[in-house]
Amino acid sequence: MRRALGLVGALGVALAPFRPDPALAAEHTAWDFSFDSIEGGPMPLARWRGRPLLVVNTASFCGFTGQYAGLQALHERYEARGLVVIGVPSNDFRQEREDNAAIKQFCEVEFGVEFPLATLSRVTGRDAHPFYRWAAAASGPPRWNFHKYLVDRAGRIAGAWGSRTTPDSPELIGAIEAALAAPAPSA
């Protein structure tokens, strides 16, 4: 019997096949969205208008959690050139703490994370954060933790990589270098 909803995900949940929605993706740029900062208060992405962003859904109890170290290394390597790494903790795959203070402490103590972190957010499904619904329309939703979206200087999705693509992978580094080398859009 054929599965009407597509493939079965890692948790045994039926996943609908991805269908890009270019019209929805074109309606906005990343600068239209805001997260809540894990420190408290709003974290509008427009704060970094004209700078490339690497937005990553994260989790503390995942086989890929060690990627926090690589994300911190990217932050240290490229921050002065304009890259902003943003971690978005999510429990969508049931591998994250339920408390923002505990998440923040874990990230700082275990990995020395200094890049911006959002509060615990949904990244998949109907209740996904608006940024993630927009990014999914352009290039597909996260299938697991540590899915990476690269946003270019114009606020558009420049690329997306799954969990198995590490922060130091040549493919991701090349895309970051290209995004940094691109001229800032005229106002």
Annotation: CATH topology of 36-181: Glutaredoxin (3.40.30)
By three-state DSSP, how is residue 151 classified? strand
State residue 20's pLDDT score. 59
Residue spans of the domains in the chain: they are: 36-181
107: annotated active-site residue: no
Give the pLDDT of the chain (187 residues) as one tens digit per residue: 222 323 333 333 344 444 556 666 678 999 999 999 999 999 999 999 999 999 999 999 999 999 999 999 999 999 999 999 999 999 999 988 789 999 999 999 999 999 999 999 999 998 999 999 999 999 999 999 999 999 999 999 999 999 999 999 999 999 999 999 999 887 6
As a whole number of Å, the CA-based R_g of the chain is: 16
With contact defined as beta carbons under 8 Å apart, do 72 and 111 qualify? yes
Residue tagged active-site, from 15, 25, 62, 102: 62
